[in-house]
Amino acid sequence: MVASFVLSILNIAAIVTGEEFSNIHDTEIDRFLKKINKPALKSIKSPNGDIICVHMKNHPIYDHPLFKNHTIQMKPSSYFKRWNNESSKALKKSIVTQMWTIYGECPNNSIPIRRTKKEDILRTGSLEKYLKKYPNNILRLNQANPIDNYTHEYAILRLNGNFHGAQAVINVWKPYLQTPREFSLTQTWLLAGPYGETNTIEFGWQAYPQRYGDDNPRLFIYWTADMYNQTGCYNLECPGFVPVNRAFALGEPVTPVSTMNGQQYHIPMAVWKDPRSGNWWLKVDNHIFVGYWPSTLFNHLRNGVTEIQWGGEIINLKENSQHTTTTMGSGHFAREGYGRASYFRNLQIFDENGIWKPINGGYPHMTNKNCYDIKTGYEKIIWGNYFYYGGPGRNQLCI
């Protein structure tokens, strides 16, 4: 009888403690949502979620303790010439767009921000997981290191030296994801600093159902000042990046996407260090200056880039002890070429003298060439330095 009574008391205590624990988590999430979802001048509803137009006086950068009195730079101090020798008409025909803009536009002196909802956070399991990338998603060693039950896999081109920027025309596809917890991304990494405290700037497209609620490819950014330990986040989920363009929203889907043996779609993307301000500017298409990372956000990157990586990355959760079938890029190997394999082209670097130049050198790296691979090339007239990359994941040679 006494034992039964004690057990009942312990069960009640456990239930109450569980409820309190849940309430604490709900309070943290609500506080985060209130902070990140600024007062809206205008709300634009689109099929992929709401866009809120936030006045520049409520800009997210002011939430960062280093930038309480930051003077926002509305445009870079200098411009640079077009990407390549293609006619602007031919290039524009193949460039992807953000569909939310057909439902409205943000007023002057405001920026569009994708509204974050509670279910976005709950899909990842916790606020902490929502704000951080998986560990081991920076390739500075010649092998992938399994952590828990997953690993990151890559097919990339690596270039070492001293640089002030990088650009490329990036092919866009809709990859297959075996599970919503895995992602498939295509991006450029700018890195500086020793392993363990590396600074990164990252930009490209990503399909990640657990984060976004669907498997559409979305343009995204990421940054960290300490190798993903305490700083950094996707898009605008923490203060750091300074968007200034009222017609471009980070984290939004892009359309259309490339089709097998059909029309290929791409987006030119570049990041470079402004010679005057030192800020790292992001440009997409041939005319959209999205915004910048302030130079003082970083310690190592404020001096320049020491390594650039271009290519694809996936997460392999190894469910049932088998390699994932999540695809990288188009899901086809590099050897299959144009119309079937995904590509980067017109690879260039911004040198320390403020000049855009074709890359010189670089070496491919694959964590497992039987799963995802890469093949480099050069074409003088239009494509310049390029590479094909990607793969299907699990197959007879990738198990």
Q: Which residues are catalytic?
A: 202, 313
Measured between alpha carbons, how far is 344 from 84 in angstroms, rounded to an integer? 13
Count of Cβ atoms closer than 10 Å to residue 343 Cβ: 26
Measured between alpha carbons, how far is 4 from 84 in angstroms, rounded to an integer? 79
Q: Which residues of 53-75 are buried (b: 16+ CB within 10 A; e: fewer)?
A: bbbbeebbbbbeeebeeeebbee
Measured between alpha carbons, how far is 192 from 221 in angstroms, rounded to an integer? 17
Ranges assigned E (strand) in 164-241 = 165-171, 184-192, 199-207, 218-224, 233-234
Measured between alpha carbons, how far is 42 from 170 in angstroms, rounded to an integer? 32
Residue 10's identity, in one-letter code, is L
Count of Cβ atoms closer than 10 Å to residue 304 Cβ: 18
DSSP-based three-state secondary structure for 174: coil
